[in-house]
């Protein structure tokens, strides 16, 4: 079973390919559509996130298929590649390393803020073949905490994007 897939519907306008690395998302955003897709309650979906089963071996297989692809793979439409749980296992870094090694253009969408900076070295190694973006639903920290309780605060996300931009990383524009 492939982890990299072609997004359906309007999601395809964001990226020709995508990969969701984790099951669940501990951000707990009140507006999240992912629990419905996974047929879970929002409480169950946001209780924890964990790496998808056998994800590294499946991604390695996908890399053989998509090696030298010109089509970008977005991490992630559901869940966050820089969720707090990623700090425990370094999954996102491992996958970025595989994508870099196989010359697969990559985009990262995160609400993880400064957590993305731990992979600055590998992100920079992609050169122009990567872009990073952050969802910014609110500029007000209090509203963000109310609606996105597990996500980094808006100021943290903006500071992270500025740091990446200053380092020469492409920043995704919405």
Residue-level pLDDT, tens digit, the chain, 174 residues: 789 999 887 777 788 999 999 888 888 888 887 777 777 777 776 777 888 899 999 999 999 998 888 999 999 888 899 988 888 889 999 999 999 999 999 999 999 999 999 999 999 999 999 999 998 999 999 999 999 999 999 999 999 999 999 999 989 865
How many alpha carbons lie under 13 Å from residue 174 in its C-beta half-sphere? 9
For the chain, the farthest-separated pair of C-alpha atoms sits apart, in whole angstroms, at 45
Q: What is the residue range of 17's domain?
A: 4-171
pLDDT at position 174, please? 56
Judge contact between 80 and 25, C-beta under 8 A.
yes
List Cα–Cα distances, 90 to 46, 95, 96, 142, 162, in angstroms. Answer: 20, 9, 10, 30, 23
pLDDT at residue number 35: 72
- Per the structure, the count of domains in the chain is 1
Determine how many CB atoms are found less than 10 A away from the CB of residue 40. 15
Rounded to an integer, what distance in angstroms lies between the CA atom of residue 131 and that of residue 135? Answer: 13
**CATH for 25:** 3.20.20.70
- The candidate with the shortest Cα–Cα distance to 133, out of 90, 162, 105, 153, is 162
């Amino acid at each position: 079973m492939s982890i990299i897939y072609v997004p359906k519907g309007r999601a395809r306008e964001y990226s020709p390919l995508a990969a969701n690395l984790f099951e669940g998302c501990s951000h707990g955003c009140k507006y999240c559509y992912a629990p419905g897709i996974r047929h879970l309650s929002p409480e169950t979906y946001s209780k924890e996130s964990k790496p998808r089963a056998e994800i590294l071996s499946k991604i390695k297989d996908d890399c053989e298929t998509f090696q030298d692809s010109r089509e970008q793979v977005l991490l992630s439409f559901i869940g966050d590649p820089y969720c707090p749980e990623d700090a425990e296992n370094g999954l996102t870094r491992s996958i970025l390393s595989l994508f870099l090694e196989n010359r697969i253009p990559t985009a990262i969408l995160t609400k993880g803020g400064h957590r993305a900076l731990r992979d600055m070295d590998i992100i920079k190694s992609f050169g122009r073949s990567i872009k990073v973006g952050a969802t910014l639903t609110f500029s007000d920290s209090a509203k963000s905490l109310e609606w996105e309780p597990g996500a980094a605060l808006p100021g943290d996300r903006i500071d992270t994007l500025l740091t990446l931009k200053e380092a020469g990383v492409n920043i995704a524009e919405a």
